[in-house]
Amino acid sequence: MMNYLQRKGVQVNRKKLNHIAEAYYPDTIAVVNCSGIGARSLGGVEDTMVYPTRGQVVVVKAPHISENRMFWGKDSATYVIKRPYSNDQMILGGFLQHGDWTPDTLKEQSDDILNRTTKMFPKILSDNIHGPNIEDLEVLRVVAGLRPSRTGGVRIEKQNFQNKILVHNYGASGYGYQSGYAMGQEAAKLALATPKL
């Protein structure tokens, strides 16, 4: 996505902001605030409705699988996502831990994930050329992340900030990849509906 935008002439600057005001240069017309979980602490109306939903995944090499599977409960999620064009990487998950800020990965959770996913989708083990046991799977890495959740759901909203436009677009929780494109369209629509633009 970033490569696409850069080809269209968009310039990218990377910078940590302590306050949203730092995003405004003298000639800035609008700022879109997409700060995810960082939003909770960003100065200038900190949003305490934002909270983390921690997850952990195990990435394995699985040339023998080309499907996705998932089983979604209210507070649990077991899923298998094969990543296309990734040199056969497959994501095994997962966890949905509301309010948990733990950045580390936990061995116990990896074992649980391997147990649940292989039980849900036995082909992961039965068709593995290296053997039929969990220990025969080639684990590439284990990752933990904090989904940017928000009580009340996403916030896509326009407001006035020191007489300039501020559009909020955050709180995508565990759906940012699936809904981010449409959320972006909504946010852009709000910004473009302003006469000054």
Ligand X SMILES: *[C@@H]1O[C@H](CO)[C@@H](O)[C@H](O)[C@H]1NC(C)=O
Residue ranges binding ligand X (CB under 6 A) = 20, 33, 35-36, 39-40, 42, 44-47, 50, 108, 111-112, 115, 168, 170
Residue 124, contacted partner among ligand FAD, ligand X, none, CB below 5-8 A by kind: none
Number of residues that bind ligand FAD (CB under 6 A): 24
Burial bucket for residue 166 (CB in 10 Å: 0-12, 13-18, 19+): buried
Residues 76-95 as x/- pattern, contact with ligand FAD by CB under 6 A: ------------------x-
By CB under 6 A, is residue 62 in contact with ligand FAD? no
42/80 with CB nearer ligand FAD = 42
| 20 interface partner picked from ligand FAD, ligand X, none, CB below 5 to 8 A per type | ligand X
**Residues near 121 by Cβ (< 8 Å), separated by ≥ 6?**
65, 69, 80
Q: Which of 100, 123, 145, 155 binds ligand FAD (CB under 6 A)?
A: 145
36 scored as a contact of ligand FAD (CB under 6 A):
yes
32 makes contact, choosing from ligand X, ligand FAD, none, with CB < 5 to 8 Å by partner type, with none
37 binds ligand FAD (CB under 6 A): yes
Residue 72, beta-bridge partner list: 77
Are residues 91 and 77 in contact, defined by beta-carbon separation less than 8 angstroms?
no
Contact, 96 vs 76, CB < 8 A? yes
Choice from 30, 31, 32, 57 touching ligand FAD (CB under 6 A) = 57
**Binding flag, residue 184, ligand FAD (CB under 6 A):** no
The residues that touch ligand FAD, with contacts defined as CB under 6 A, are 16-17, 34-38, 42, 55, 57, 94, 145-148, 170, 172-178, 180
